[in-house]
Chains A and B, each alone.
Chain A
Amino acid sequence: MSEIKLIREDGRRLDGRLPEELRPIKIEVGVLKRADGSCYFELGRNKVVAAVYGPRELHPRHAQDARRAAVRFRYNMAPFSVEERRRPGPDRRSVEISKVSREALEPVIIAEYYPRAAIDIFVEILESDAGTRTAGINAASVALADAGIPMKGLVSAVAVGKVDGQIVLDLMSEEDQYGEMDMPVAMVTRTNTITLLQMDGRVTMEEFDRALDLAIAGCRRIYELQRKALIEKYSESRAEEGGV
């Protein structure tokens, strides 16, 4: 199907990765001073930043829920984040991504602690190279923890796909564009729960099963990095305050 070869003779991918290898990941916690929690996340050439505000008062008031806080999520791409300038403002794609990303995080947020409040999550895609929704969820999950929102676990996300007939982890943009399948997955590693699952392409059931297992393994690796970034940040700040 693909017009260009995506797997080289030596079995490596266009950027030299093995099929089950992630792109380099960089995580920085607490990068924005105004926000209650924030995280800068790089996945290969993807650069995203997430901020969390809240729990705070929810407006309009009729949107308040007497039983729990409302979780709101906004995924937004910067106009310069893609090859051809993107018109600012929400399009249908970002409306859908905002919805599924929120639903990927809601299972871990203990919203019952804050009735009538709002927990707002904002994700800005500064540079995009396939996998922005998963990078956004990873960043948002760390930003929620940084904001001190009570959570049942961290959410980690990664895409898997099929390129040149092979199931591979963490698609880059050429693989996303010319590959045969793209499947973003998010999960709570601690409880082994899948909280985001989307797929488009054409694969057999057997390939799907393998792809899901690979995605789960990828999420576990990302979880370790998220955890490490949070521990580093908070052991640093505790040292600064003079307490251990």
Chain B
Amino acid sequence: MSEVLDEIRKDYLFNLVRRGKRIDGRGFHDFRELHIRTNVISKAEGSAWVELGLTEVLVGVKLQPGEPFPDTPDKGVIITNAELVPLASPMFEPGPPDENGVELARVVDRGIRESGALNLEKLCIEEGEKVWIVFIDVHVLNHEGNLIDASALGAIAALATTRIPCERYGLGNDEKLPVRDLPVSVTAVDIAGEVLIDPNLYEESAASCRLTVISNTDGTISAMQKGGTGGLSPEITKKTVKVAVECAKDIRENILSGVVASLEPY
């Protein structure tokens, strides 16, 4: 039964897009309403509660000293995890992360890591012995589409407001986490040849594939990921990248900069 409804809904969305409209009245390149609250969990060193339309994601950052990787003895470590807990959607099941959870965590991780947003050299406590391990934990609370962007936004907002708990470990005064860029993830789907930014749950399930582009303040791109069982033409792909970089700039300047006090120089 739900399969039939899926098909009807898909048809409806396609027809809407052909007439230049989206199901919730947004423009093709508009994000849903976005709210980010930081420092919502006092036990965490950094946290951000993201509301992207009806999608809600809570990201917590915890830090603890630990051993560096042997090939990067003078750099801190980032570990990202995502849990698609069953309270967030009837589609989610309890248990260890499935491929969707793993993909979500790895894409969020890639955006932060590859942008160089975190200055990992500054997270070295004692070369080869002790560095700060930064745990980024994504907790999805309500899945109404586009978990990647909500989670990635939550991750960078949480990191940019994180304090390193030096005092707790007898390492001097607490410090600000050295964040020097604000990578922003923008995901789009292709419906009827149009690039729809920030797909909601309906649009996500109607589209056969999505493309995520994570870009930085200087307009460079740090991570991309195509997902879903369909394909994209090279033209739509290039167009999506351009639109995504513009949208990222808009979000960075109008929303993230209000949440994040100041950045380290790159």
Residue numbers of A with Cβ under 8 A of B are 66-67, 92-93, 95-96, 98-100, 103, 106-107, 183, 187-188, 191-205, 208-209, 212-213, 216
Contacts and interface: CB of A to CB of B under 8 A. Distances in A.
B102 A95 contact: yes
Given A199-B221, A202-B114, A203-B220, A98 B99 contact: yes
B233 A103 contact: no
B241 A103 contact: no
Nearest to A67: B3
B224 A202 contact: no
A96 B99 contact: yes
A199 B223 CA distance: 5
Contacts of B106: 92-93, 96
6 contacts: A191-B231, A193-B231, A194-B232, A194-B234, A200-B114, A205-B245
B147 to A, nearest CB: 15
A115 B225 CA distance: 29
Band of interface residues on B: 35 or more
Given A103-B226, A107-B231, A202-B216, A197 B102 contact: no
A212 B234 contact: yes
Nearest to A193: B231
A194 B222 contact: no
A106 B227 CA distance: 11
Contacts of A203: 220-221
A93 B106 CA distance: 8
Given A196-B226, A209-B238, A212-B238, 9 more contacts: A92-B105, A103-B227, A187-B231, A200-B113, A201-B114, A202-B220, A203-B220, A205-B245, A209-B241
B86 interface: no
B170 to A, nearest CB: 33
Given A99-B99, A193-B233, A183 B219 contact: no
User: Chain A interface secondary structure, helix, strand, loop or mixed?
Assistant: mixed
Given A92-B105, A96-B106, A194-B237, A204 B219 contact: yes
B229 interface: yes
A130 B102 CA distance: 21
Contacts of B102: 92, 95-96, 99
A197 B219 contact: no
Contacts of B110: 200
Nearest to A107: B231
Contacts of B216: 202
Given A201-B114, A209-B238, A194 B233 contact: yes
B228 interface: yes
B116 interface: yes
Interface string B93-126: 0000001101101100010011110000000000
B242 interface: yes
Contacts of B115: 202
B209 interface: yes
A8 to B, nearest CB: 25
Contact of B231 (A66, A100, A195): A195
Contact of A205 (B103, B219, B232): B219
Nearest to A183: B224
Most chain A Cβ neighbours within 10 Å, of B100, B115, B241:
B241
